[in-house]
Amino acid sequence: MLVAAIDAPVDLVRDRYDVAIRFGQGPYPGFAAKKLISLFMFPLCSPRLLAQTPLNHPRDLAKVQLFGDVNLAQAEPDWGAWLTLAGAPEVDWRGGQLFSNTYLAIEAALAGRGVALAEAALVQDELASGRLVKPFDIELLSGYSQWILSLRERPTGPTSAGSEPGWWPRRTPRACGASSDLRSPEGGLLLCRAAFDDL
Cα 162 to the chain's mean position, in Å?
26
Position 90 scores a pLDDT of 96
Read off the pTM. Answer: 0.69
- pLDDT tens-digit readout, 177-194: 333 233 333 332 222 233
Instruction: Name the pLDDT band for 17 (thresholds 50, 70, 90).
Output: confident
Position 159 scores a pLDDT of 41
Class of domain 3-38+143-198: alpha beta
Measured between alpha carbons, how far is 151 from 158 in angstroms, rounded to an integer?
9
Position 166 scores a pLDDT of 54
Instruction: Name the pLDDT band for 175 (thresholds 50, 70, 90).
Output: very low
Phi-psi label, residue 162: left if phi above 0, alpha if psi -120 to 50, beta otherwise:
left
Position 199 scores a pLDDT of 32
Q: Where are the domains of the chain?
A: 3-38+143-198, 39-142
Measured between alpha carbons, how far is 2 from 192 in angstroms, rounded to an integer?
7
Measured between alpha carbons, how far is 172 from 36 in angstroms, rounded to an integer?
6
More confident of the two residues 193 and 56:
56
The domain 39-142 is classified under which CATH number: 3.40.50.2300, 2.60.120.260, 3.40.190.10, 3.40.50.300? 3.40.190.10
- pLDDT tens-digit readout, 133-168: 999 999 998 888 888 888 876 543 334 444 455 555
Instruction: Name the pLDDT band for 50 (thresholds 50, 70, 90).
Output: very high
Measured between alpha carbons, how far is 9 from 97 in angstroms, rounded to an integer?
27
